[in-house]
Structure 1
Amino acid sequence: MTSSALTRPGERDRVSTKLGEIDWRLVGLLCVIAGVGAAMLYSIAGGHWQPWAAKHLIRFSALLVAMLALSMVHLKWWFRAAYPLYGLLLILVLMIEFTPLGYTAGGARNWLNLGFTRIQPAEFMKLGLVLALARWYHNHSAQDAKWSWKLLIPAGMIGVPFILVAKQPDLGSAMIIGLTGGVIMFLAGLSWRIIAAGAAAAVAIVPPFVIFGMHDYQRNRVLTFLNPESDPTGTGYNIIQSKIALGSGGLLGKGYGLGSQSQLEFLPERHTDFIFSTVSEEFGFVGSFTVLACYIAVILIALRIASLSHSHFGRVAAGGMTAFFALFVAINGAMVMGLAPVVGVPMPLLSYGGSSMMTVMFGFALVLAVRVHRYAELPKGRDLF
């Protein structure tokens, strides 16, 4: 279908036309990754659908329908929702700290107890940040994005949730928020001088932050990452067991359901943070490489979608969401291989977890919306109001 056909009045409003414009390769890859996750959760549970695999599939199926529905929403509505959504999510993060609704689990006060359910606002904050930054950059010039006092605004939009989430303490989510915001500023055209200065400042601040800014258990994780064998039955246990699982799989793995580290529960958090180690143990290098290839394909397709958008908002939003997804994959992969400290970042769609899956699926709804409405032109300033 040509560009002129797609922009013909009323043509884009047909549901059938919009469904045809969805990138089904991307949808298929997401289904494959989630399916592998369900298969691994079934294996980890000893060949049972409960307690993880069935819920994982039900959540994904429901969110898949929601993703496809949201992908047909015009970009102007995503644009309008950007700032209100960011503000709402920031309020929810503040509620964790300053109201009795804050709930502590796993040593971190990062849950909001709503009575009927518990949610992690920090997970959704990542999507809200991508949208808010995309809207800000859409309404500002290339010079403002490169170097201007106005950059204090997006820096503050990144810094406030980063500090609040790090204080919970949820270092993994804070790291994703900070890095995603930094990548978006880079994609928007930030000056190389500022990037170099920021990198130098980050390197300089790491040692004092580790010594004075981290909780004891976080500091121990960093020190253990440098030398996990120093405490093999304590803080180094997770990394050591993960490495054993990764290495023992060899080329083709031990076989489905035959991973000793996961089946005998030596591997900690085998259904969430370390599920990729289980994939490597049971299916070896070939299996883990195949899963990573699926992730890489998703990232490349999403970047292509971002490049095709006619609106700056669409380009920045799709690029930022792709960066967010890629950071999840890179940090979790590095973590399970002992190349990064254990910070509690799941492998997207592979790991068990509702909040994380919901954020990823809503994020790809945005990417697909950019694809479907790639020829849409969004006016600058307040024209949409």
Structure 2
Amino acid sequence: MAVQEQPEELNINIDRELKDRQDDMIRLRRDFHQHPELSFKEGRTSQIVADRLAKSGLQVRTGVGQTGVVAILEGKKPGRTVMWRADMDALPLQEDSELLDFHSEVNGVMHACGHDAHTAIGLTVADILARHKSDLPGRVMFVFQPAEEVGGGAKAMLADGLFKEGGPGGGRPDVTLGLHVGSLFPAGKALVKAGPLMAAVDTLAMTIRGKGGHAATPHLTIDPVMVACELVVALQTLVSREVPPMSAAVLTWGAIHSGTKDNIIPVEAHMMGTLRTFEPEVRKHMLERIESLSTNLARAFRAEATFRVTESLPPVINDDRLAGLVRESAIRALGADGVIDGGQRMGSEDMSIFMEEVPGCFITIGAARPGDPPRPHHSPLFAMDESCLDSGVKVATRTILDLLPVR
């Protein structure tokens, strides 16, 4: 389908509507940033979201997928059902409080991935569209999702019947949309890519069991810490020597826990990590080889390794035709210079769970602060240029308006 020329009543002056809400949107984002909440614990955030959506006149359901919120905006004419998704949760991370005046007030919890911005953008788009609902065709399903960071929020909402007739969303949408700010992309630019965008991820857990004892007599023990260190290095050879050079795989061990005291060799060591891939055959090979190499290398040191996959998410793959339409809408919203190209990224997103059910497009909005050093996601130094809020609202609103009518 091609983007049709919009009827006059759908040519909302988005810039004017945004100007009326801009200060409120920034205050809202900063409030979420100061009060971050971890996955499935987004009680305060979801309450604010629900209250605001109700005030805008939407039909609101709470407690979907534990702490998720779903709101329906019914147009007055026939049209498509477009789903817009925003995630709400934060990370277990201590923010560098010297960077921002409005830093996190919750010890050890931080919005280090931009979900505060996603939530504020989604609420602003909902309010703008609600003001014009008498002119809208179709319906918009706003999904404010919990627990993206642990990969369980989308699954939980679907398990609560989000896409089922009579469920919280009132049935299956025709398209799924969402965005993510990107702190390494130019501020205010939109990246719309057809096809594979973000990698599949498998969350990994490894337990190495040895034989504990005194640090002064290692010959009487089987040291699981030493085995874990050997494994971290050895497993990287799977990426460098067993994955085709033109394919992609990233294996990262983010945590190793063992021991209770400096002079005790512990019985066990525990490793947690992630494997990120795009191609199913690469994923299959890597998982098989991680298990076999770990088992055999541990055995060579007289230890025992137990490997398991605790969580898996598919890759984010934008529908080719839909991505073309979204790109056109983004150009309408930001101008041709405001839309850029980009390649695949090894980060992962459980938006893919929704997009496996219904074709979708996931948009990136640049948020790099001009003149700043890189402020990567999931870092205590993460920060964004707040101009990305404006760009996000413009692209989201324009795209939804362009996709609602049925040709």
Q: Which has the higher strand share?
A: 2
- Which TM-score applies when normalising by structure 2? 0.26
Could you say which structure has the larger radius of gyration?
A: 2
